[in-house]
Structure 1
Amino acid sequence: MKNLYLFFVALLSLGISNAQTIITFEDNTIIADSDLVVGPNSDEVSIVVDPTDATNKVLKITHSTDEWWDNHGGFTIPYNQNGATGGTVTFDIWTDHSASVDAGTFGYMIKFENNQDNPGNNIENSFLVDGAGSWQSVTLDISDCANKAPAGNCSGQEHSASTFSKILFFHWGGSNPSSPTPDTLYIDNITYQNGDMLIAPAADAEPTTAAPTPTHGAADVMSVYSFHYAPSVPVTNVNPGWGQATQTSFETINGESIVKMKTLNYQGHDLTETDVSSMTHLHADVWSENGGETLAIFPLDGSQPEPRSGPIALQAGWNQVDIELATLPVGTFGGTIKQFKFSNDLNSGANLPLIYVSNLYFYADSTASVDKIQGFEISLYPNPATDIVNINTSTSVDHVRLYDLTGRVVMEANPNKENFNLDVTGLSKGVYLVKLNAGKKKATTKLIK
């Protein structure tokens, strides 16, 4: 019975010794079924009886299609064991193709992933097998591209000093011909150079209290996700995979389902395209463990430049964020939401370590608008309006324009008085900007129809 064990190879000529790990797949060894990794287009990754020796167990990987990059399988090295690092790696491999059927050599690739220094930095190196339907021993210096398969793939060798916790085998050998599919390969006796001990990370911090209870009436809200409102802007994919580093998931904390974002550089949500033009604001409750970061939220409608909030300074704990859609500092929101994006705004490229988002929804602010901008006051009512809007100002207004959220002028007038009204009966429902000129003074407010 084989076991996982450590042994030391003395490199006397260098005066040092390198510890190695040999991984086999017998019962009661470190690699268990729960550690196995199955690629998206691999049919099976399992620990099975050796097809050539009933007393032995090996790793089996099967592929039925030629989706080479997604055809992979392997395992994650558990915590409290040494990870793998660059240098010599050896393993035994057996494929089910016979030389008489598949004459020649076929390409595969081994890859070290889950770099403990930087998860995005990996090592990969291609190799050839003869496809003869028998066990073959392969030895590679994964740190050196000089020994890769001819015309094969090799990259990431600059990360060889790092420690990796995942070893994968790919049904692909770069420019070499991949083994014909369907394809079954068996792996055994994987020997690699020891890296650092793999230590389980501390549990992520979590909010100890629920997000603040929203105060907006349900009739004035279009919710994306919130414990307190029925969803009216459905999320079709909370983590669509835009190439971001962010790890995103829904978590149930304090009895509520909220979104967790870890190592946030940017993160998107795909939504069912929804008209929210009757809403004036976007609300989100955002939790930060330590504060001191800034965040930006993008309500995306497909326009360019992308509509976005200004920098949101996060304090430790829950932050209540309200964004007025009509006055975004970048871009113009057109009233139809398609996606959301969250970004680590103004953090010099550093990821936000951890945030949680709850109560993400649009709402209509139904209070009358009273603004004082550049020296004169405006009162506009009723707001929302259906027909006649009364506007009172502290100075005579000589020109007024109404804009929809695409920037198009939909109404204008020259009242030349302080108190006047506008008939908005013919306007469609939505949010409008009201811009007023009084000599050299200007003011802007909003109107909901």
Structure 2
Amino acid sequence: MKKITYLLILFTVSFAFSQQQQYNLGFESGTPSGTLANWTTFENPSPSAEIITNPDPDGVNTSATTQVLKLIATQNSACYAGTINLHGTLGTWQLDAGVTSNLTLSMKVNKSIAGKVGIKFANATNGTVFEISDNQGLVTTLNEWVNLTWNISGFNAGDNVNIDQVVVFIDFTCGGANRTSDVQLLVDDITWGANKLTDPATCTDGVMNGSETGIDCGGNCAPCAGQEPLVAAPTPPARDAADVVSIYSGAYTNVTLDELPTIWSQLGNFSVMQIEGNDTWKITGCEFIGIVTNYTNGVNLTNMEKMHIDYWTPDTNPIGVKIVNTVDGGEAIAPLGTTVTGSWQSIEVDMSSFAALPNKTKITQLLIDPSAPSLLYIDNFYFYKVATASSESFTDSKVNMYPNPTNNIVNITSIENIDSVSVVNVLGQTVMNKLVNSKDFTLDISELNSGQYFLNLNSNGLKVVKKLIKN
């Protein structure tokens, strides 16, 4: 009896980190599955993904408060388009062929068109444990929650180790008829049993895993220094609506875009993320991103004098912006100058740089085009014309700056309200941006190196440049 007890203790200790667990991905706030950054979508054009409150409580999912994963694939998305969690974000597990609960997987779905939902497990080295896309996932009841169950007992034993990824194929049409429309899939309660090997990745485990872009930083963790912006892009000045054609900015009314990104864009992933509460485009592996305004009349940039774009990148590849008129024909590309890494760059391009396209009345496409794959953060992408100066225009004589030279602090006073200020070094690099919205303010330049700088003071679309010496 003592020997049996001892063996049971040894068995328990040996499998302390391999205990049977019932997994349920419910997408609730604060859980690994409910963290959108833990998921990515595939394939160009990548489906959209968001986690929302159940918009259609019915069928097998009647809760009006539960969170669900919403996926939308376009008609032209790949036949195998879907979503996958990032490595490590759900922990790791192993299936046990001797445990009944490990041999099936179930999922609640709500689908807008008839067709098959597919499922797949992959391990930490990208090995496929199983992939099922047959009629077990066929949905014929539309726009209502139903339950799907797959028999996963035929899993690949050789790859049944350190499983850490769940793949959902939204509308698996490979080998069958092409998709005839866009498709929406709502997902909830992905459930299976398995031996738990490790817990989900955290921001303190000393390993780059999950959604992290560095060791315990990036993704869901604190941003990695030098790899992603810690602050939002500068806020643009107020302008009359008639003076702006905004593609993307929270400061203005944006034009309606028919495609973002386009099916022919060459990039890794496109998403909208928040930085200090400000929506910002994040584009990974960007060779170029295409944007379509509309193919009927496009947007008219004839009267615009400047193009503005804010970018942040850790890469040094040169970046250009292309505008295209597919109605009348023609295109032109303008470079954004020497790429500066690790800080927001507010770029102003004179529209004369697009001289290769004289007819700018119907701009249907725009492209942001690095010379090599790059990680880009984009905000405040718009075209504008400079406001007509009044008799009380913003001029150098109406701005006072002191002391100059200075060691740390410079005081600025103005008759006109100043919207923002940027500090530029002699190499043309922007080393500081600050939103002001005041006539009087101070600027702390203590962290800048000694030397000569230029202060760009912006007021209602006008600019005054002051030279500043840092001791």
- Bucket of the pairwise TM-score, normalised by the shorter protein: 0.3 to 0.5
Bigger share in strand: 1
Tell me the TM-score normalized by structure 1: 0.45
Larger Rg computed on CA atoms:
1
